[in-house]
A and B are shown apart, each in its own frame.
Chain A
């Protein structure tokens, strides 16, 4: 056992970090929140060139995956740089299409997702769908039973669902999100039927697990960025003649954030290795809690400047809040952990 990132995985993280730092992602995020997508699409192409989306797509469909550890590495960086867009949704759509028994939809849609030529978003029974105005592929899959509740696992009734390719949304104004870079739309109904039956229900479970893993990694990155930015701020901000970072009350709040993030990190990469739904749920819950704890500390320690829309900290602060509840909030994640069986971890 060697439970640490390999040198190649670390180099991949470093190269993404360098590319995203050079891409002025805060400006891209501002553009995206106004519905100006050119800079976001350009960044999407660079991410595809770096191989990010190919990690979620099997070789048979033009990718190099699935490589969940590398995917987690990438999503930590995407979160760290507050990259906007249907990132989680695209890799979850790839998991869904890959998991179908029927290979037709995968052959049709996955190669262009892997290459970054198209983006995808999806609604798996949720009220909203993210970036439906920007995504080229809009998938909906409504399971005939609740998607994740533990009680359903024992249900005798066959679980089936229908997967549809919905027409693009172009006309509606978005429903505002607490994270302005997230453009929400009502989940559409109708569209072209791509697949149906128990295979879709099973594929939806795969997609949910993938979405939670990617969100967990993204949240970890959001938290790490908030910690870094706040450490830098309290080192240079002086009051009473000294850096505020020399005060113990400030230090301890940041130490607690560091502890939360450093214990979330192994859960995220452990879940990427096992792909076990209970492990993934534990990682999702813990990483999102850690990011939110860090966001609260970051706002408090920045003071009033952190509470402004102009200051770029807000990009990460607002994301830390919404990631907690998307793709399974704390309660749903705890359900999955408790239904994970008696297996010794």
Chain B
């Protein structure tokens, strides 16, 4: 057991730090939940990609550096410590790409991954439907067989940044006659600008169009955009669900940087006694999450899968993220009310954390049933 990075890993850290110091925009980009900010973040993705920093853990042929998980964690620590922008390509990189690595074809990887790495094609998820949220497997959007492909019809919702994104991926019912809801689902990719797609932006709490409804009316998807075998969609989606909940959606680097900024903010406010416990807990939470993640990465390198332990992660980071931002707003006092303040965007975003990627109630069910072994019951 040790906590020491290898010298070569520290050299990698230094290289990342130097590149970021030279390239991170001096002025923060506009909110990526707006058209202007989305475009600015897309430009930043392209800049990252020029020197292969956008997807450090991918193989070089797809635009990465072929680095392991530990170096990805190191990169993320440096990335957020440098104050670099949020990642507009995150849904594609952390959800679709792992699925393609595990279940896609060489042709799909060669076609989809390089433009994702360069920010040329930005992906949105299309999981939820109005009547299928926590009970995702009850979804009813259909994909009907047609010549050399499928026709998608139905309504998807809460599709993050779909108002500005290029393509989407999600689950569709291809065989409605099967006894169990998670049977007969297929994992498909589709173009958000294809004929038959209507994107209706939805304003989140602060009015920014952070997600959208997708109305699909016989949208043609060619066979080459099916991931895995038709009917296998649930198994494929769940096999990489741990990525969303666990390791790769929220890196510790982001929280370490956030906790550092909170300590700075506290000091600039004169280190008020009233916030001392919250600030200490912010620092401790970042350290706990960092060390938990190092342990999870070590398990991963031992060949274990994350499995239901990713639900521990998801509840922790989502509640911790919210607490961090509440601490910051409390410290800011009157200034904390300003929607254009440095912490407001993050606060509104953090409010959604306990809801998306499987609500925290669903995660607690998973922890209780699959980690602790409690009997299944009514939800």
- List residues of chain A with CB under 8 Å of any chain B CB: 1-6, 9, 69, 227, 231, 234-235, 242-243, 245-248, 250-252, 254-256, 258-259, 262-267, 269-270, 273-274, 279, 282, 285-286, 330-331, 333-335, 337-338, 340, 342, 344-345
- B342 an interface residue at 8 Å Cβ cutoff? no
Across the interface, do B286 and A3 meet the contact criterion of CB distance under 8 Å?
A: no
**8 Å CB contact of B298 from A3, A9, A248, A255:** A3
Residues of A within 8 A of B289 (CB): 263
CB distance from B2 to the nearest CB of A (A): 6
B302 contact set on A, CB distance < 8 A? 4
**Contacting residue for B277 out of A69, A334, A340, CB 8 A:** A334
Chain B residues 330-379 with CB under 8 Å of chain A are 361, 363-365, 367-369, 371-379
> Is B294 close to A, CB under 8 A?
yes
B299 adjacent to A4 (CB under 8 Å): yes
8 Å CB contact of A1 from B6, B280, B309, B316: B6
- Assess the B276–A338 pair: CB atoms within 8 A: yes
Interface of B is mostly: helix
Which of A245, A258, A263, A266 is B371 in contact with, Cβ under 8 Å? A258
**Are B364 and A345 touching (Cβ within 8 A)?**
no
**Using an 8 Å CB-CB cutoff, how does the interface string of B109-127 with A read, 1 for contact, 0 for none?**
0000000000000000000
Contact of B372 among A255, A267, A333, A345 (CB under 8 A): A255
Shortest CB distance B133–A (Å): 16
Whether A255 contacts B367 by the Cβ 8 Å rule is yes
Query: Which residues from B are CB-within-8-Å of A3?
Result: 1-3, 291, 294-295, 297-298
Choose from A5, A242, A251, A266 the contact partner of B364 (Cβ within 8 Å): A251
Which among A234, A251, A331 has the greatest number of chain B C-beta atoms within 10 A? A251
| CB of B370, distance to nearest CB on chain A (Å) | 10
Partner of B375 from A246, A254, A269, A337 at Cβ < 8 Å? A246
Q: How far is the CB of A79 from chain B (nearest CB, A)?
A: 19
- Contacting pair B1 A247 (CB below 8 A): no
CB of B284 within 8 A of CB of A1, answer no
Binary contact readout B277-298 vs A (1 if CB under 8 angstroms, 0 otherwise): 1011101101111111011011
B374–A263 contact, CB under 8 A? no
Let me know if B1 and A259 touch, CB within 8 A: no
| Residue ID in chain B nearest A234 by CB atoms | B374
A9 near B287: Cβ-Cβ < 8 Å: no
Contacts of A251 in B (CB 8 A): 364-365, 367-369, 372, 374, 377
Sample (15) of A-B pairs whose CB atoms are under 8 Å apart:
A1-B6, A3-B295, A235-B373, A235-B374, A246-B378, A251-B372, A254-B374, A255-B365, A256-B364, A262-B292, A263-B312, A263-B316, A266-B288, A270-B287, A337-B280
Known: A231-B372, A258-B371, A263-B289. A1 touches B298 (CB 8 A): yes
Complex Cα distance A235/B302, Å? 32
Chain A residue nearest to B373 (CB atoms) is A231
- Residue B225 at the A interface, CB < 8 A? no
Q: Tell whether, in the assembled complex, residue B374 and residue A338 are in contact, meaning their CB atoms are under 8 Å apart.
A: no
Enumerate chain B residues within 8 angstroms of A4, measured Cβ to Cβ. Answer: 1, 295, 298-299, 302
Q: Considering the complex, give the chain A residue whose CB is closest to the CB of B287.
A: A345
* B274 at the A interface (CB under 8 A): no
Determine which residue in B81, B372, B376 has the highest number of CB atoms from chain A within 10 A of its CB, and name it: B372
Selected from A250, A259, A279, A335, the residue in CB contact (under 8 A) with B287 is: A279
Interface size on B, residues (CB 8 A): 54
Tell me whether B276 and A263 are in contact (CB under 8 A).
Answer: no
User: With the chains together, A178 CA to B82 CA distance in Å?
Assistant: 49
Q: With an 8 A cutoff between CB atoms, is B4 at the interface?
A: yes
Residues from chain B with a CB closer than 8 A to the CB of A231 are 372-374
Q: Bits for B289-324, please: 1 = Cβ < 8 Å to A, else 0.
A: 111101101110110000001001001100000000
Closest B residue by C-beta to A72: B1
Q: Quick one: closest B residue to A274, CB to CB? A: B3
Known A-B contacts A246-B376, A259-B312, A345-B256; A254 and B368 likewise in contact (beta carbons under 8 Å) = yes
Contact B287 A69 (CB under 8 A): no
| A330: chain B residues within 8 A (beta carbon) | 277
B70 part of interface (Cβ distance < 8 Å): yes
Q: A255-B363, A345-B290 are known contacts; what are 18 more A-B pairs with Cβ within 8 Å?
A: A3-B1, A6-B1, A9-B1, A235-B374, A242-B375, A243-B374, A248-B378, A251-B367, A252-B368, A259-B367, A263-B289, A263-B312, A267-B291, A273-B3, A274-B3, A282-B287, A338-B279, A345-B283
In the assembled complex, the Cα of A248 lies from the Cα of B373 at a distance in Å of 13
Of A243, A266, A285, A344, the residue contacting B291 (CB under 8 A) is A266
- A69 contacts B1, CB within 8 Å? yes
| A331 to B, closest residue via Cβ | B277
- The listed residue (B276, B286, B290, B315) touching A259 by CB distance below 8 A is B315
CB of A126, distance to nearest CB on chain B (Å): 22
Contact, CB under 8 Å: B295 / A266 = yes
The interface residues of chain B lying within 8 Å CB-to-CB of A345 are 256, 283, 286-287, 290
Contact A235 B375 (CB under 8 A): yes
A137 to B3, CA, bound (A): 36
Residues of B within 8 A of A263 (CB): 288-289, 292, 312, 316
A268 and B70 CA atoms in complex are apart in Å by: 21
Q: Which of B263, B286, B377 contacts A246 (CB 8 A)?
A: B377
Q: Quick check: B1 and A285 within 8 Å, CB to CB?
A: no
Chain A residues contacting B1 (CB-CB under 8 Å) are 2-6, 9, 69, 269, 273
In Å, the complex CA distance between A247 and B230 comes to: 36
Judge if B191 is at the interface, Cβ distance under 8 Å.
no
Bound-state CA distance A262–B308 (Å) is 13
- Is B145 located at the chain interface by the 8 A CB criterion? no
Rounded to whole Å, the gap between the CB of B297 and the closest CB of chain A is 8
